[in-house]
Amino acid sequence: MQSLNRCPPPLQAPRRGFTGALVGAAKGAVMGAARGAAMGASGEVHPAEPKGARRHDPAPSYWDYKMQRLWLTPQFRVLFRFGPPVMVVALVAALVLASESRRTALAGAITHIKEEFQARPEFRVSLLSIDGASPDLADAVRARLGVSFPVSSFELDLDMLREKAESLDAVATADLAVRSGGVLHVAITEREPVLIWRMADGLTLLDATGHRVAGLAARGDRPDLPLIAGEGADQAAPEALALIEAAGPLTQRLRGLVRVGERRWDLVLDRKQRLLLPSDRPVQALERLLALDQAEDLLARDVVAIDLRDEKRPVLRLGEDAFTQAQRARGLLPAEEKKTESDL
């Protein structure tokens, strides 16, 4: 099959000379007689063609053929349909915005329309609702947000307001949303205090992660919470809670935990007893001591301190009376003279 892009072969040149003329005349006579016979049989009468008129060639021209090929290309059709309109719009916009006064007027009109749209009643926020917080904390959140009502919802930066609410020590998380009816709803997750941290400048309530919750005026205001002290005790709050939980039967005697050197804990019991725990695996060391106390009733004796920092060799520090009796038992001190009643 011949390709469409190939140009048609040129027409055959007419024959020249006398013989060619005779052949042409014979062909014309035969074709004229055939056409006349056909017209006579059908009864149609056609006007005679004007002399010198050229017959129409049904084949497309070169440029028509090229345009037909281009219209068959999807990219050309899209470009032709959308390209000129876009160019016209861009040209008109460039002509309109070429003047500074027109640009200023257009910007003012857009701003006015935007303000009117944002000031519609359906976008107005008039109330603030706070859930999940105590009354004192709710008042603190209200004061920290500082939103003046009524206000358009488009003017509220919820992310910035959330950061303001979470900047309060007692707020763990805050979720803000604008609800129907023009209500700004704030869902607060409040921090739960579990420890009291004693510092040089006062008492502070801490949550389970060691984050500050609030200040405390006096220890008697929260007697249900354990006490910790020492530099860096807040950073080791989870470990302190684990030790308090492992203390078990010593909970009633426990007076607090002291952070030593920002690396280990001392457990302070009543009767001025102190348990020196190691920096590594302090919970396991305390559990071993509790097992020894259950077997030997160690903590009920006159013991001032028990040093558990060396896992293989615990060290006991005896009280004054127990130390004196131990020296006498070894013969280092003379035996105590027994008092007798006088006969008088």
125-138, pLDDT tens digit by residue? Answer: 989 999 999 999 99
Distance, in Å, from the CA atom of 195 to the CA atom of 224, rounded to the nearest integer, reads: 9
Q: Any residues with CB less than 8 A from the CB of 27 and at least 6 apart, and which?
A: none
DSSP 86-148: HHHHHHHHHHHHTSHHHHHHHHHHHHHHHHHHHTSGGGEE-EEEEESS-HHHHHHHHHHH-PP
Tokens standing for residue 173: 């998380």
Domain boundary pick from 146, 163, 190:
190
Looking at the 3D structure of the chain, how many domains does it have?
3
pLDDT of residue 43: 54
How high is the mean pLDDT of the chain? 82
Residue 330 pLDDT more than 70? Answer: no
184 and 236 share one domain? no
CB 175 within 8 A of CB 187: yes
- What pLDDT digit, counting tens, does each position of 115-166 carry? 888 778 888 898 999 999 999 999 999 999 999 888 888 889 999 999 999 9
pLDDT of residue 7: 52
104 and 141 share one domain? no
35 found inside a domain? no
37 found inside a domain? no
Domain boundary pick from 155, 175, 190:
190
pLDDT of residue 313: 87
pLDDT of residue 340: 47
Closest by Cα among 228, 253, 246, 237 to 286: 246
289 and 215 share one domain? yes
Strand duo 171-179 + 183-190: pairing: antiparallel
Q: Which domain holds residue 85?
A: 75-117
238 found inside a domain? yes
Query: What CATH number has the domain bearing residue 160?
Result: 3.10.20.310
pTM of the entire predicted model:
0.62
Percent of the residues in the chain that have a pLDDT greater than 90, as a whole number: 43
315 found inside a domain? yes
| Torsions phi, psi for 291 (to 5 deg) | -65, -40
322 and 247 share one domain? yes
273 and 203 share one domain? yes
336 found inside a domain? no
Return the percent helix, strand and coil in the chain, to nearest 5. Answer: 45, 20, 35
268 and 172 share one domain? no
199 and 325 share one domain? yes
131 and 163 share one domain? yes
Q: Which residue has the higher pLDDT, 2 or 127?
A: 127
- What pLDDT digit, counting tens, does each position of 220-242 carry? 999 999 999 999 999 999 999 99
Domain boundary pick from 141, 175, 190:
190
